[in-house]
Chains A and B, each alone.
Chain A
Amino acid sequence: MATAVLRPAPQIVAHRVEPEPRGLMSWLTTTDHKRIGILYLVTSFVFFILGGTEALVIRLQLAAANNTLVTPEVYNQLFTMHGTTMVFLFIVPVLAGFGNYFVPLMIGARDMAFPRLNALSYWLFLFGGIVLYASIFWSPPEAGWISTVPLATSTYLPSGGVDAWIYLVHLTGIASLIGAINFYVTIANMRAPGMSWSRLPLFIWSIMAYSLLLIIAIPVIAGAVTMLLLDRHFGTHFFDSANGGSALLWQNLFWFFGHPEVYILILPSFGIFSEILPVFARKPIFGYKAIAAATIMISFLGLLVWVHHMFTTPTPLVIIVFAMISSFLIAVPTGIKIFNWIGTLWQGSIEFRTPLIFSVGGIALFTIGGISGVFLAIFPVDWQLSDTYFVVAHIHFVLVGGSVFGIVAGVYYWYPKITGRMMSESLGKWSFWLMFWGTLITFMIQHSLGLDGMPRRVYEYAAVGNLQLYNQISTVGSWILGAGVLLTVINVWRSLSHGAIAGPDPWRANTLEWFTTSPPPVNNFDEIPRVRSLEPMKDIRREVERQAKTGTRARRRGAGEVKVTT
């Protein structure tokens, strides 16, 4: 434990500085957490574009009643690939990417605890994605991202698509599992001197929760998909009701993983909000302990609520009531976070830079998803809303508003650290407004679609009531959202060469990753500073200022050039 233990600093004498390796081979063989982080971020954004394109085709098919743009078969494949891609190949790995890059930097470590295991988890993730996308040349899976049995058994879908899906879940699952263990061990053991648990940045707390949930949930889905594989090819009957198995067992096992998965997808984005808001409001985070405790509470309660995905199944009432109450309970810590974020803005001096705008917009959109979640937790109401577009709207407000806006905020916030250059503010703001209104237009109207009787996962609908109008509004919104995402992608690409030079700490931020150069050297820090509060960079700036005032020359600290600000 690197806490307040007093010990002499190791004296390392460098005889020769090795040049940073370059070229393709250096990327294939790297064990540097920053390079692995970049690989994760870039790869998962490629999958994001693929998943987004699938969504746009889905919206085109639904733009007209009785449309025949794609066949029912292709439609089922599209939404299965869209859901699977966004969950397993975009949000989880992109968060692993941020985690990889910034966990060691934020806790003042020189790498992850197990660098080679870290590389392995990236390559497993990549091959999981390749396995899934290779299936589009044969027959992609078409049983939805939840692959419900018996539809996903070989009787009803004998082709290899579901097998590719199972393989993907296994590969990305192992990737996530060993990645999660790596994060946990790194955070528990490699924190800078003085960084006690109560000085841990909130993003690190959220990566802790993300890791713990993955460690608990992944083995369950791994077991479930193995059972499915055995049922499909080796004559077992785990899910076959006619032969002593149970079709409901799949839903229980899947959602025992599936619900914690939602918190795995959202908590690190909450962590990003909690890092960005104090920086741009120029205030400490409001209620640090409450937010950290709420993160852990949400993770714990998130393990108890999976039956709320099964309110319409033949499940005993007492279990359904339990699931409703535990789902209600989750709303409390989630509400606490939103209140604390608003408290952080209160009486601040808010600078409207792109990371802040995405964070605030994300919180505003997530609030809608949080509120619609309460409707769905009330099980008699859920009997009307379940499996309709109301649920589609809910999950997208949570995962686009919460997760994706947090991720994009993180891209704008940390891009200067990763590349050494700033992203364009004006492109960023355009991207924000398109994404914000795109999300609102696409998904708000979907609540009405669900209330009007449109189930999810249907490739066509009849021109009755307002269904066509609502769907067209949603389709227009989806293209606005797509345009917004495209602008950010262009911005990322363009700023690599056109962006202004960022310097080590362009935002005057609070956490240790801003102590080193942008981009950081291979060893991250030459000298690891002692952490004295939740906001070490603020202390360092204050100290430098004091020394400047008293006439002492600001000492160069390690690789980090400390910027003097007034």
Chain B
Amino acid sequence: MRRSAHIKPPSRRASLLAVSLALSLFLAGAQSAFAGSILPQSGGSPTANHISNLYSITLYIAIVIFIGVEGTLLYCLFRFRAKRGRVAKQLHGNTKLEIGWTFGAAAILVALAALTFVDLHSIRDPSNSGPGGLDLSNGVQYETTGALKPPNGRALTIQVNGIQYLWRYTYVGASGNPTGLGDPYTTYDMVVPTNTTVILKVVSQDVVHEWWIPELGGKVQAVPGYTNYTWFKIPKAGTYTGQCSFLCGRGHARMIAEVTAVSPAKYERWLSRLSANLKAADANAARCRAVLASGQGPTSVAFTKNC
């Protein structure tokens, strides 16, 4: 084959354009269809959606680079395979070309960094609760004091505590007791109101764990001795599942987490029921203590245990 056998540039450019157009259509607006196969999961919270957007832009660029590099490599292997009469051209390099691709690569990365900084705000910083969200205007107990804060300063704060091998959620300030004692808590299943900015204070009481509900956004490590923060806002009622994603011991694979989003009215009913149950249990314990302290109760072990 002689060197003059070249590929016509216009047809190649056109087909490249067509391929990239088809790819864009294929990926654009297909976030839900491809979530969990070629895109990260999303749809639960704007944080996850923004991450998915940033990922898909990176993916477009990556596909172009991938096809470019692997295509050129394959082309070289077919075009320049040894055959009778072929003499390798003794090139030692090409300074202009080498400087060119160095700056080319750098330019792509500068663009990616810029994109990241543009998207960072919407991913990292909490936004205000939506119109149908939980009314936090008069609930001073819900004010956040952590590192993350929505612009109006009002968000629902939940402390997430990692324990081998379950998650414990404390509804900070819901008891009204400034010391935090008596705040209602649950394990495994977190219940949150829809359209409400929820800030999670993530801590651990034993080993390192990692909080992750893929549809609600990124992960945060729960490191003993440190407090880590993340947030989400769920527009749609439903259940979102995840699990601990940092090796925490033999039960790691079964350290499941669930977030159930319900309407604010339902949430408030659920929370007051939870608080009432806890209060009843506390009252019962107090009554037992009083009976025992007075020395008037029956002395059986069964009574002391169950009161």
Contact with A along B7-48 (1 / 0, CB 8 A): 000000000000000000000000000011111110000001
Contact in complex: A347, B62 (CB < 8 Å):
no
Q: Which of A349, A364, A448, A461 has the most CB of B within 10 A?
A: A349
Q: Among B79-87, B137-145, B188-196, B276-284, which stretch is in contact with chain A?
A: B79-87
Task: Determine if A465 and B51 form an interchain contact, defined as CB atoms under 8 angstroms apart.
Answer: no
Does the CB pair A349–B37 fall under 8 Å? no
Decide if A375 touches B55 in the complex (CB within 8 Å): yes
State how many residues of chain A have any CB contact under 8 Å with chain B.
84
In the complex, the answer to whether A350 meets B207 with C-beta atoms within 8 Å is no
Contact residues, B47-95 vs A (CB, 8 A): 48, 50-52, 54-55, 58-59, 62, 65-66, 69-70, 72-73, 76-77, 80-83, 86-94
Q: Mark A381-408, 1 if CB is under 8 A from B, else 0.
A: 1111111100000000000000000000
- Interface status of B250 (Cβ within 8 A of chain A): yes
- Chain A contacts for B77, CB-based, 8 A: 345, 350, 360
| Interface contact A367-B70, CB-CB below 8 Å | yes
> Does B37 lie within 8 Å of A451, measured CB to CB?
yes
**A349 to B50 CA separation, bound complex (whole angstroms):** 48
- 5 new A-B contacts, CB < 8 A, other than A150-B208, A384-B48, A386-B245, are A287-B94, A313-B226, A348-B88, A451-B40, A465-B36
* Smallest Cβ-Cβ distance to B227: which chain A residue: A314
Can you offer 29 A-B residue contacts whose CB atoms are under 8 A? Answer: A156-B164, A247-B225, A248-B225, A281-B80, A288-B93, A312-B210, A312-B221, A313-B226, A313-B228, A317-B124, A325-B113, A331-B109, A340-B98, A342-B76, A349-B82, A350-B76, A350-B82, A375-B59, A379-B116, A380-B123, A382-B218, A383-B218, A384-B51, A384-B55, A387-B246, A451-B35, A451-B36, A453-B36, A453-B242
Which chain B residues border A290 with CB–CB below 8 Å? Answer: 93, 98
- The residue in chain B whose Cβ has the minimal distance to the Cβ of A387 is B245
1/0 contact string of B236-255 vs chain A (CB within 8 Å): 00000011111111111110
Give Cα A543–Cα B176 distance, bound, in whole angstroms: 92
Does A458 have its Cβ within 8 Å of any Cβ on chain B? yes
- Determine whether A481 belongs to the interface, using a CB cutoff of 8 Å to chain B: no
Chain A residues, Cβ within 8 Å of B81: 349-350, 352
CA separation between A335 and B54, bound complex, in Å?
22
Contacts of A313 in B (CB 8 A): 221, 223, 226, 228
Q: Is A564 an interface residue (CB 8 A)?
A: no
User: Pick the contact of A455 from B37, B41, B93, B243 — CB < 8 Å?
Assistant: B243
Interface membership of A338, Cβ < 8 A: yes
Contact assessment for B226 and A314 in the assembled complex, using a CB-CB cutoff below 8 Å: yes
Chain B residues closer than 8 Å to A335, beta-carbon distance: 101-102, 105
Residues of B within 8 A of A332 (CB): 102, 105-106, 109
Complex: chain B residue closest to A375, CB-CB:
B58
CB distance from A310 to the nearest CB of B (A): 8
Alpha-carbon distance A331/B39, docked complex (angstroms): 22
A378 with B80: CB separation less than 8 A: no
User: Contact at B250–A76, with CB atoms within 8 Å?
Assistant: yes
Do residues B116 and A380 form an inter-chain contact, with CB atoms below 8 A? Answer: yes
- Interface check B155, CB cutoff 8 A: no
The residues in A between 343 and 373 inclusive whose CB is less than 8 angstroms from any CB of B are 343, 345-352, 360, 363-364, 367-368, 371-372
Residue with the highest number of chain B CB atoms closer than 10 Å, among A143, A242, A364, A383: A383
- Which residues on B sit within 8 Å (CB–CB) of A339? 98, 101
Residues of B within 8 A of A364 (CB): 70, 73
Question: What B residues does A378 contact at CB under 8 A?
Answer: 54, 58, 112, 116
Question: In the complex, which residue of chain A has the Cβ closest to the Cβ of B205?
Answer: A242
Is B214 an interface residue when CB atoms closer than 8 A count as contact?
Answer: yes
- Bound complex: CA A476 to CA B282 (Å): 56
**Sorted from nearest, which 8 A-B pairs have the closest CB atoms?**
A383-B218, A241-B225, A455-B245, A458-B253, A282-B88, A452-B36, A287-B93, A345-B76
B247 and A143 contacting across the interface, CB-CB below 8 Å:
yes
Alpha-carbon distance A348/B83, docked complex (angstroms): 11
A50 at the interface (CB under 8 A from B): no
Closest chain-A Cβ to B43's Cβ sits at a distance in Å of: 13
Report the minimum CB–CB distance from A436 to chain B (whole Å).
Answer: 13
* Chain B residues near A452 (CB-CB < 8 A): 36-37, 41
A150 touches B109 (CB 8 A): no
Alpha-carbon separation in the docked complex, A151 to B218 (Å): 23
- Out of B91, B109, B218, name the residue touching A380 (CB < 8 Å): B218
| Interchain nearest-CB distance for B213 vs A (Å) | 9
A388 contacts which chain B residues (CB < 8 A)? Answer: 245
Tell me how far the C-beta of A141 lies from the nearest C-beta in chain B, rounded to whole angstroms. Answer: 12
Return chain B residues, CB-CB under 8 Å to A383: 51, 123, 217-220
CA A286 to CA B253, docked complex, whole Å: 49
Contact assessment for B93 and A324 in the assembled complex, using a CB-CB cutoff below 8 Å: no
CB-defined contacts of A286 to chain B, threshold 8 Å? 91-94
User: Contacts A388-B245, A452-B36; is A346 near B80 (CB within 8 Å)?
Assistant: yes
Name the residue in A246, A338, A349, A380 with the highest tally of chain B Cβ atoms < 10 Å from its Cβ.
Answer: A380
Q: Are B247 and A151 in contact (CB under 8 A)?
A: yes
B212 interfacial contact with A, CB 8 Å: yes
